[in-house]
Structure 1
């Protein structure tokens, strides 16, 4: 009888056992017709005596078997039978039935519990697996290596570091730490949680020859982008010689080589793959193809691709991505065509790679065709593909099509779609739309990722909005991300709040070279060069190696501080670190030496540069011009034009124009003006301002006016330069009219502008206007007047002959008047012959500058003109008493 039943089971599964029952319900309710109770038990025992008997059944047949076991009572007496049924439910992904059965089993053993934990893991119910383990621990059930390995796997999937450490503590206590399965679970937990160092500690706890454990560390390091760590571990593993790397090992280390573009090392590993016979594995073959493709060796990639016995979608996609990386869009589309002919499955990564190939203005028609193909195969609504479409149209320059693609997206819960649309707006310059879309995203309850937060923060120039986004980042816990944290303190720096910028920087848990560079650059750009240098020294204490960008930023800070000594130290450090031949370093060195006055060193660095760009030329020309070496500056500019530098920037032109203004040589200035017009840069505000200043110094106010009218968008400097030029040439009314036009255009004046305005009032004799503008700068613009403003007012009152009023004005100044203010009043007294006020002014000057011979001579001449010779003799006597016997004669460059 048993032999007949076994043969029947092999061919008809459970049909002979349950032939009287048409359903599991019937099994539970109907009476057994042909089989007695003893025979039913025998059949039930045979059914569960081998797990393969149950695994061959369908889910419905398994439920029927469950019913038979219940009817015969076997399930309560035979734990082996119950465990096999638990395993069957787990395989069918019906953990709800497994849990019901689990609760029915009166006497569970460790296998029963292990099957439940493992079943939860198989069905991705990791929280339930952890709860089963906790219940098992609470009931005092003895655990084995399978228990610990399975629960550690659950902790790894949940990334519950603390829970995993607790479990591993019991592992160590109960002596299972040498088991490879258990240690692999703990290593996987640490690796998934980006704690590769902890994973290595577990690996090195005991001498391990289990390749699975080593593979877990290598794989974890690759997933965490610690590719060099992964390669180092593989090297150790290989040197030990007691373990043979398998296909999983090779695919992981080849992926690491591809990520760091270590082609030569990858080739040597490829040789080991061939030697070890693992080349036929599809995953290893794909990793080899990906290595060559990402390293730019497309001929080798194609060769290995053709040698693969079996190709999958990943290997095809690697070839397409490789051609995209090399900029060969035509070949990428050709590979796609071949891929479609083979009938290979197309996934979202393949489509994204093809769209990346079309992200070029010349590929607009191809992008449209690919879009139609995507629509045809039904992937157009996929969030990943939709994000790629938005990005492609953005790079093509068709931002309107990006917006249409975004509007057609059905699943707007995917952050990637929003991120690409916001990024598209940012790159196209539509900042308002980017911020509006970000606000809409928040209103719809979508949590932005770090890429969106970084993109938005890079746009913000308002502290109010910036603080709101910062608060949001704090709320969702994104400030610990290096990219977001760096964007936050960069935003504060850009908005001028350096205190908040420093706080945000200090709160960063991890600081990389980019974050240090951004913070140091922010301090340097906002006039805090000394703090930038301090932060650089702090960086050295953190044992971080500065890169060329940081060194260039610090050299620029040395330029701002005019610290030649520190600049030379940084130069020496750059030479030792091998950064001397970097263009960015050379540019910064030329600039530093030029601004610090060491023009000889600047020339040495400049002439040693293998490639001289416009930055280095401009720095050297500016250095010579500012130090008064005008002819040398002009000669350098001439050499620059002959060197073939295509683009001459505004800074260089401005430096040369400044030198011409000092020389007061309108002939050369006119020639340079013609060159500027030829290059088509006369409309730039910075160029226009320099031209105005040059023509003003040369006395050609008419040309100043013509140049100003040609500037397309005058900035504050342009307006101020023109107003000052009018004032210096006695055209006060024109200056004041231009000032009114400036305010109507929406540009707010600064303190330099008001110096020009008050000077214009002085030259025109408009006392009332002068008082009005002085009060306006305080009341309307919050600008506190300085000595130059008060000097202009004293000069205005003095020119108008209101000397007593000028005296009272000086006495009532909110700041202590200096020598120049009193000298301005003294000069006015000489013109108007007011000896009394002049005498008072002279006394104040002598108090502030006792050794100034010029004051004594001016007062003496004033009394002499009035015929008061007694006073002249007294002043000359005072000069002898104080030791002032000689006045230094005036002198000029001309």
Structure 2
């Protein structure tokens, strides 16, 4: 029967000295009687790479039997090293303890052996014993123990070792330098690592690679590029570990040309391995150069899952979902493995309503491949269905996570509810998080606050933010003060804004927008100046908000200065900023500049057109307005409700029903007749044109009238003397749950006045304050005086004026004066006229009305006095005119 020799015996056989024949060799090997060269045995065993504890023990026994171990410490150290490489650290340490006088190599072998076996604590202990027994460590001792410190994340012990090696003078060793940089890198202390790196002037590539990689990980991409340039200038050859980090930095800095240069240098240096090639594919993909990315990918000899995913992500980024899915099919066809990044990229690509079928297929594949339990995949699934609009499927995907504690998955579900404005479910889920012991992170908080409109709940969430220490997070702070802004609490919003330590552009833009949108344009301007003082460059959103503030304040000069600033930032021709500039110039009355800015825009959007049309309407430039509207229709510029409302407002000034009818037909064609603002404008236009039936039809077309819509129809009925219809509309408005405002009551009281409904008018006047807490103004009291005057109850009107809680103004006395003229009450008319002239000395009508009353009463002397008094003022009565 054939006997197979043990591998070690084979090594011993091959190491025999002066063997004469194979038969003799086998005989001496089996008995180990012949003494081979021990150096040859060690060499052959080490080169074989077939280390094991058993083989090493056989060799150890052979050396003991042949007394080689007594010939020198070299064999002891070699055996210890072999035990370490065999992962038998117990035997290695026992053999080390038998050495009478171990040298520094002995200690180094054991320390590095413990590192190799991931027994880093034992490695530190051995170094401490070495130092305690006064053995002088060398550069390899320090390098090994620093490596252990890195693995254990023990920076304090590492710094103590660092102090010792500086004292011993080993700082110039490249091996030690590399380990020190690695230690700083592992602890993510980039500033300290860079300081050390610059102090010691490292001249080995490994140290440069470590510091460059750390710079990229810490987002210091510009520093990484600078270090790379210094490395090349120092005649150090970058290798395959250098290029991936630099290519990532180029992507982050959007430096395409530098990235291409790095690509060329990698080819020149011969460092094109799979990692570098993948980084190159990723570079071109992230810059949208998909043809070049695909070409580089095709040239790769080895295409791993990372390179496939980089290419697929690039096509997803370019919204070429079809090709991304085709690549995924090719990837699966050749049996290439799939990772979570591949899946999440594809799920993000399918987050479109028209791709619901593909989304479902991918979901099934996720379940089949077992990725459904991965938190990143689960979060992406929830987000995908949320963007498609399928909240129910989002909840289904969320339920498949098996009660995960990962806040990111919960944040995705909260975001899903937020995107679909499901406020109640979002609050409910947020409560469940606490019940399940999941601590909401900043993403959960931001998603919830984005739809929070209840101040009470918002304040409670604010309390949790303070308790959890998230108040210093910029995104949380921004969401919090935005929530307070939406709730109208600008003081609290600004207080939170001030507490945010690091304010990014989004924070500044949100706070400035909050002031501008809630009627505090002066505060928005002040905050914008503070932003500039802190040398923070505003983005286009901030500029739009501040231009809106200038428009509201009618600050033309400030608006022009901001226009110049926007131009210097390169945002002057931005379509959105340009629209805000057109709006600012229009509202400030500078229509020539508004038109000039409008003509300069590379593309005209609905907002810019609407702003200019509104400006023309305010100035009464009806012809220019209709010409611009005609150009919009001819050039297929989208027409929105705001534009149409402005045009209808201008058309109502013409009081020409033909133009109104044409506009109404255009509105029907555009499908805007159901819009509440358009419907309200149509009602007002037809009312001024005298067509109350068309008013009613336009109002009926509105899908869900708001307060303005209801007020428009009520006022229209009032102006046409249909008091009963106005009051019926008011009662219907209340049944619909729409709360009236002060303007609505002006319409109601006016309707009562035109229909002689005195008791009803007094009832609604009292209802204003009693039911809705609206304090009546002079306009409301004037309606009551007008009603009493029309009914001939002039003395009641006088008494009503004297008993009003507010002092009567010229409008109220003028209303009474007009009634006195109609009913020929000279004495009361004289009193009313004097009051009007006292309050408004420049009111020509008051003089004329008073003169006419005196003339009707035959008091010509009084007429002469009034006319002389009128002539002394220098005023003139304008001549009447008629369209007929």
Tell me whether 1:268 sits opposite 2:264 in the alignment: no
Q: Which residue of 1 aligns with 2:658?
A: 667
Q: Please tell me whether the aligned partners of residues 188 and 220 of structure 1 are also in contact (alpha carbons under 8 angstroms).
A: no
Q: Which residue of 2 aligns with 1:25?
A: none
Relative distance call for 1:864 and 1:256 in structure 2 (3 A) is: same
1:257 to 250, 260, 267: 250
CA distance in 2, matches of 1:690, 1:865: 43
CA distance in 2, matches of 1:480, 1:198: 25
SS at match of 2:259: helix
1:888 to 861, 874, 877: 877
Q: Please tell me whether the aligned partners of residues 735 and 760 of structure 1 are also in contact (alpha carbons under 8 angstroms).
A: yes
Q: Which residue of 2 aligns with 1:92?
A: 117
Q: Which residue of 2 aligns with 1:244?
A: 237
Relative distance call for 1:76 and 1:422 in structure 2 (3 A) is: farther
Q: CA deviation at 1:84?
A: 5.0
Q: Please tell me whether the aligned partners of residues 556 and 592 of structure 1 are also in contact (alpha carbons under 8 angstroms).
A: yes
**Structure 1 residues 468-515: Cα deviation after superposition (integer angstroms, max 9, x where no partner):** 333333333333333322222222222222222222323332333333
CA distance in 1, matches of 2:586, 2:289: 45
Q: Which residue of 2 aligns with 1:738?
A: 729
1:717 to 689, 700, 708: 708
Relative distance call for 1:688 and 1:17 in structure 2 (3 A) is: closer
CA distance in 2, matches of 1:735, 1:186: 85
CA distance in 1, matches of 2:227, 2:127: 43
CA distance in 2, matches of 1:586, 1:85: 72
| Aligned positions of 1:610-759 closer than 5 A | 610-645=602-637, 647-759=638-750
SS at match of 2:664: helix
Q: Which residue of 1 aligns with 2:581?
A: 589
Q: Which moved more, 1:372-381 or 1:627-636?
A: 372-381
Q: Which residue of 1 aligns with 2:24?
A: none
Count how many residue pairs are aligned between Structure 1 and Structure 2.
Answer: 838
CA distance in 2, matches of 1:369, 1:494: 40
Q: CA deviation at 1:583?
A: 1.4
CA distance in 2, matches of 1:761, 1:779: 19
Q: Please tell me whether the aligned partners of residues 56 and 82 of structure 2 are also in contact (alpha carbons under 8 angstroms).
A: no
Q: Which residue of 2 aligns with 1:277?
A: 270
Tell me whether 1:224 sits opposite 2:218 in the alignment: yes
Q: Please tell me whether the aligned partners of residues 852 and 884 of structure 1 are also in contact (alpha carbons under 8 angstroms).
A: no
1:144 to 160, 164, 169: 164
Q: CA deviation at 1:256?
A: 1.8
CA distance in 2, matches of 1:397, 1:441: 23
Q: Which residue of 2 aligns with 1:215?
A: 209
| Aligned positions of 1:817-836 closer than 5 A | 817-836=808-827
Q: CA deviation at 1:202?
A: 5.2
SS at match of 1:845: helix
Name the TM-score, length of structure 1 as normaliser: 0.84
CA distance in 1, matches of 2:100, 2:297: 54
1:57 to 70, 73, 86: 86
**Structure 1 residues 524-578: Cα deviation after superposition (integer angstroms, max 9, x where no partner):** 2222222222222222222233333333333332222222222333333334443
SS at match of 1:793: helix
Q: Please tell me whether the aligned partners of residues 679 and 709 of structure 2 are also in contact (alpha carbons under 8 angstroms).
A: yes
Q: Please tell me whether the aligned partners of residues 842 and 855 of structure 1 are also in contact (alpha carbons under 8 angstroms).
A: yes
Relative distance call for 1:481 and 1:237 in structure 2 (3 A) is: farther
| Aligned positions of 1:422-437 closer than 5 A | 422-437=414-429
Q: CA deviation at 1:269?
A: 1.0
SS at match of 2:219: coil
Relative distance call for 1:410 and 1:595 in structure 2 (3 A) is: same
Q: Please tell me whether the aligned partners of residues 707 and 740 of structure 2 are also in contact (alpha carbons under 8 angstroms).
A: yes
1:558 to 547, 550, 561: 550
CA distance in 1, matches of 2:553, 2:95: 91
Tell me whether 1:771 sits opposite 2:750 in the alignment: no
Q: Which residue of 1 aligns with 2:148?
A: 119
Q: Which residue of 2 aligns with 1:797?
A: 788
Q: Which residue of 2 aligns with 1:475?
A: 467
CA distance in 2, matches of 1:189, 1:518: 41
Tell me whether 1:786 sits opposite 2:813 in the alignment: no
CA distance in 1, matches of 2:504, 2:771: 44
Q: Please tell me whether the aligned partners of residues 383 and 416 of structure 2 are also in contact (alpha carbons under 8 angstroms).
A: yes
CA distance in 2, matches of 1:752, 1:315: 66
1:855 to 829, 846, 865: 846
Q: Please tell me whether the aligned partners of residues 801 and 808 of structure 2 are also in contact (alpha carbons under 8 angstroms).
A: yes
Q: Which moved more, 1:100-109 or 1:746-755?
A: 100-109
CA distance in 2, matches of 1:188, 1:806: 93
| Aligned positions of 1:2-81 closer than 5 A | 15=54, 51-58=80-87, 61-63=88-90, 66=93
Q: Please tell me whether the aligned partners of residues 51 and 85 of structure 2 are also in contact (alpha carbons under 8 angstroms).
A: no
CA distance in 2, matches of 1:626, 1:466: 40
Tell me whether 1:351 sits opposite 2:343 in the alignment: yes
Q: Which residue of 2 aligns with 1:543?
A: 535
Q: CA deviation at 1:230?
A: 3.0
Q: CA deviation at 1:668?
A: 1.4
Q: Please tell me whether the aligned partners of residues 854 and 887 of structure 1 are also in contact (alpha carbons under 8 angstroms).
A: no
Name the TM-score, length of structure 2 as normaliser: 0.84
CA distance in 2, matches of 1:802, 1:193: 90
Q: For structure 1, list consecutive stretches of 5 or more residues without a partner in the other structure.
A: 22-31, 146-170
**Structure 1 residues 698-731: Cα deviation after superposition (integer angstroms, max 9, x where no partner):** 1111111121122111011100111111111111
Q: CA deviation at 1:673?
A: 1.1
CA distance in 1, matches of 2:162, 2:543: 61
Q: Which moved more, 1:851-860 or 1:719-728?
A: 851-860
Q: CA deviation at 1:387?
A: 1.9
CA distance in 1, matches of 2:858, 2:189: 95
Q: Please tell me whether the aligned partners of residues 418 and 447 of structure 2 are also in contact (alpha carbons under 8 angstroms).
A: yes
SS at match of 1:380: helix
Q: Please tell me whether the aligned partners of residues 149 and 155 of structure 2 are also in contact (alpha carbons under 8 angstroms).
A: no
Q: Please tell me whether the aligned partners of residues 172 and 200 of structure 2 are also in contact (alpha carbons under 8 angstroms).
A: yes
Q: CA deviation at 1:229?
A: 4.1
CA distance in 1, matches of 2:854, 2:51: 135
CA distance in 1, matches of 2:183, 2:372: 36
CA distance in 2, matches of 1:133, 1:12: 32
Q: Which moved more, 1:883-892 or 1:384-393?
A: 883-892
Q: Which residue of 1 aligns with 2:831?
A: 840
Relative distance call for 1:194 and 1:543 in structure 2 (3 A) is: farther
Q: CA deviation at 1:457?
A: 1.8
CA distance in 1, matches of 2:847, 2:621: 36
2:492 to 492, 500, 514: 500
1:368 to 355, 360, 364: 360
> Once superposed, what is the RMSD of the aligned Cα atoms?
3.9
SS at match of 1:247: coil
Relative distance call for 1:867 and 1:197 in structure 2 (3 A) is: farther
CA distance in 2, matches of 1:893, 1:186: 95
SS at match of 2:733: helix
Q: Which residue of 1 aligns with 2:319?
A: 327
1:441 to 433, 438, 448: 433
CA distance in 1, matches of 2:276, 2:51: 41
